[in-house]
Structure 1
């Protein structure tokens, strides 16, 4: 009887332990976007990194093939209601579908007077109102009244093409798992950006469209295997799913931020874009050296 009770207690303890571990991992995944969360008890080292991905680069072109751009796959999923967007990579504040559409749209510049017309003496008031270029309209016995100018209509807005959305940022944790003795890239979130170099982006700065949990993106990529394709230019029989492309690290990126007390980007810390690029290369080398030292000592 004592042996039976001991065995039952051991079985119950193992069940509770497994359940607690599963609950811990599920909670971590749901809160931070990780697809394969690593238990905190197994983490020896962790560093949060933000990487920029330019989809125009040769190594990234397979994720940006014609008609199957990763930006198209993501935004179409948002429009269908299959994917939730967030305001930033903290993944705490959600965006509605209408807000995402607004972020990925631009307003056409209204047609105004050219420099030659302004030099000739015309003004914006001459574009509407009055007779003969704004002249007062006669009314009654010698009285004149100015004709009210029609209220200008709002300029139309247009959505950026998926080919225009070629800039992304990826937030990840570089984690050294002491149980498995290896370094993991634990991707948390991916942000789509309107590039600063687009002519339609009159602000001249990168504009975030929305941030998406990586775990949600994997689900969408797996559910749409005919669209979420990493195009293999060497063999049409070996195209891969975008989820596999991220898992196998089949893309190029560069570091733009390493976790720091001020939450500042590298170009802000080192005082310029060129210095930021050099700091990015140094940060990548430092992380490789750190992993090497873990194995050496």
Structure 2
């Protein structure tokens, strides 16, 4: 009888262990980009937050040092095939390396004519090297370099009109790509009784303030899983450096810099039913900055109240 009870207890224990293991595996999958996912059963509070990171700020300069820019590390990893790039932070669709390169490229604008040249009688056709109906050779004679038809031995032969070549395209320098957006879940783990910043994705952006960015708005280059970035940073310790200006012997890996939160950021969006950014909700950039400070204060106060009551 005792042997039977012992066997039944052992069987029940094994079944519970397998069930717990299955639940743990299901809730800790890193498909959402999390490097250290927290099981849903341990989450008491969670809020999704989007933060802007300006790499020109003094506190962020260590991850944007000359030749070791985080934008350089990420983009070169994509070009080597070491890192997957996604279209947005939903992580459902991807870009090819060529598409990402196109997103971080710009076309050189046509220089055109100055006011002095226009006053002297030159036209845009002259500046185009004869891509108009006629061009002046500078001696008062004009020669047509583009015709629509010509006669040869009594027959009319169509001539294909030439079109001007497209303007050349260039990639932005790594130093130009100083804007990032970070998506995280701010989670209170009831098992460990502490708040975690669970980073999900990081998005590289073309800043709106760049002169070559004629659209005047931030343009996403690509989004990356944070778990993938940690792997790339660890695999490239000589490149993925957080520069310690006080001690060259104590440079850190970029993965450690994010883990220790050695950067400055400001909140641009908090999860809401309309999926709106703070400046859209409050009606302007200035109001959005004030709302960002208020949102950060509210989250700190919420965490404090969890400990107080």
Same fold (TM over 0.5): yes
Q: Mapping of 1:54-203 within 5 angstroms? A: 54-126=54-126, 127=128, 128-129=130-131, 130=134, 132=136, 135-136=143-144, 150-203=162-215
What SS does the corresponding residue of 2:232 show, helix, strand or coil?
helix
Which of 1, 10, 31 aligns to 1:7? It is 10
Query: Is 1:263 equivalent to 2:252 in the alignment?
Result: no
Distance in 1 (CA, whole Å) between partners of 2:257 and 2:283 is: 34
Q: Mapping of 1:15-30 within 5 angstroms? A: 15-26=18-29, 29-30=30-31
Distance in 2 (CA, whole Å) between partners of 1:41 and 1:9 is: 22
Query: Is 1:219 equivalent to 2:223 in the alignment?
Result: no
**What residue in structure 1 maps to residue 247 of structure 2?**
235
Distance in 2 (CA, whole Å) between partners of 1:150 and 1:18 is: 69
What SS does the corresponding residue of 1:225 show, helix, strand or coil?
coil
- What is the deviation of 1:131? 5.4
Structure 1 gap segments, 5+ residues each? none
Distance in 2 (CA, whole Å) between partners of 1:255 and 1:89 is: 16
- TM-score normalised by length of structure 2: 0.88
Distance in 2 (CA, whole Å) between partners of 1:175 and 1:79 is: 34
**What residue in structure 1 maps to residue 154 of structure 2?**
none
- Going from structure 1 to structure 2, the CA distance change for 1:42 and 1:135 (only over 3 Å counts) comes to same
Deviations along 1:102-129, whole A, 9 cap, x unmatched? 0011111123222333344443334315
Structure 2 gap segments, 5+ residues each? 152-156
Distance in 1 (CA, whole Å) between partners of 2:221 and 2:294 is: 30
Deviations along 1:160-208, whole A, 9 cap, x unmatched? 1111100000000111111111111010000000111111111111111
Q: Larger Cα Rg: Structure 1 or Structure 2?
A: 2
- TM-score normalised by length of structure 1: 0.92
Number of residues paired by the alignment?
292
**What residue in structure 1 maps to residue 53 of structure 2?**
53
- What is the deviation of 1:155? 1.1
What SS does the corresponding residue of 2:214 show, helix, strand or coil?
coil
Deviations along 1:108-157, whole A, 9 cap, x unmatched? 112322233334444333431545365558988xxxx9x97642111111
* Segment of structure 1 superposing worse, 1-10 or 206-215: 1-10
- What is the deviation of 1:236? 1.0
Deviations along 1:245-287, whole A, 9 cap, x unmatched? 0000000000011111111111111111111111110110000
Report the aligned-residue RMSD. Answer: 2.4
- Checking the alignment, whether the CA contact within 8 Å between 2:125 and 2:135 is kept in structure 1 is no
